[in-house]
Amino acid sequence: MIIKTLSLGELMTNCYIAKDENSNIAVVIDPGSESHMVISALEDMQAVPKYIILTHTHFDHMGGVTGILEKYPDCRFVCHSADKDGLTSPHLNLSEAFYGYPIILKEDLTVKDGDIISFGNSSLKVIHTPGHTLGGICLYDKGVLFSGDTLFYYSVGRTDFPGGNASMLISSIREKLFILPEDTVVYPGHGEITSISQEKRGNPYAG
């Protein structure tokens, strides 16, 4: 797949566009804000999104959803079933605390651990990684992992927000992510890319 990274919003959230190499079909992962920038990138890539996928339902990962759906009404909006309450709760998605106004959305589809999200000839496997939120997920295929706010470059996601659990997060990383091939490239929700081998060796929180 062809991957484009956009850093969006005040918190510099990484939004990823993953396009199938053999078609114009794509997915958008975590469009945190500035939907016009995501749409412009899709147009530059000559890509049409089949799905918007949230790795978790925090405001800085979901603020651009509405604008993209308005542009691409056939696109489906996806999150994990255990996180969908965050779409309608400004307390859970932190939008009132950080923005001062609520973000409220409605999912089209929910996924669970092990589900496969297909687009063109490409696909992503859902890995449920609770800890940052109850329904946090990572997305994996062929040596690529989109880790959301579960795993960062030499760091891990915060667990002091509603639904967070530190021991659960570390278990998710060690038991579900660190078993992936070591050459897997990790595309996190914030910051620079890393790899499974690098984090297993040097991550001070989960290594």
Instruction: Give all domains of the chain, ordered by start, each with its CATH number.
Output: 2-202 (3.60.15.10)
- 3-class DSSP state of 60: helix
For 120: left if phi > 0, alpha if psi spans -120 to 50, otherwise beta; the answer is left
* Mean pLDDT score, 120-146: 97
- Residue 13: band (very low, low, confident or very high) from pLDDT cuts 50, 70, 90: very high
- Give me 163's structure tokens: 């639904």
- Interatomic CA distance for residues 65 and 88, integer angstroms: 14
**pLDDT confidence of residue 106:** 85
* pTM beyond cutoff 0.85: yes
Is pLDDT above 70 for 10?
yes
- Residue 144: band (very low, low, confident or very high) from pLDDT cuts 50, 70, 90: very high
- Give me 1's structure tokens: 């797949």
**pLDDT confidence of residue 206:** 87
**pLDDT confidence of residue 74:** 95
Nearest to 119 by CA among 61, 54, 75, 81: 75
Is pLDDT above 80 for 99?
no
**pLDDT confidence of residue 104:** 85
- Residue 18: band (very low, low, confident or very high) from pLDDT cuts 50, 70, 90: very high
Helices (H), the chain: 35-44, 59-62, 65-71, 85-88, 90-93, 95-99, 166-172, 196-202
Is pLDDT above 80 for 100?
no
Question: What is the average pLDDT value for the chain, to the nearest integer?
Answer: 95
- Residue 103: band (very low, low, confident or very high) from pLDDT cuts 50, 70, 90: confident
Is pLDDT above 90 for 128?
yes
- 3-class DSSP state of 162: coil
Is pLDDT above 90 for 97?
no
Residue owning tokens 């696909």 = 123
Reported as a single tens digit per residue, the pLDDT across 50-88 is 999 999 999 999 999 999 999 999 999 999 999 999 999
CB-CB neighbours of 194 under 10 Å: 22
* Mean pLDDT score, 89-104: 83
48-53 and 25-29 beta bridge pairing: parallel
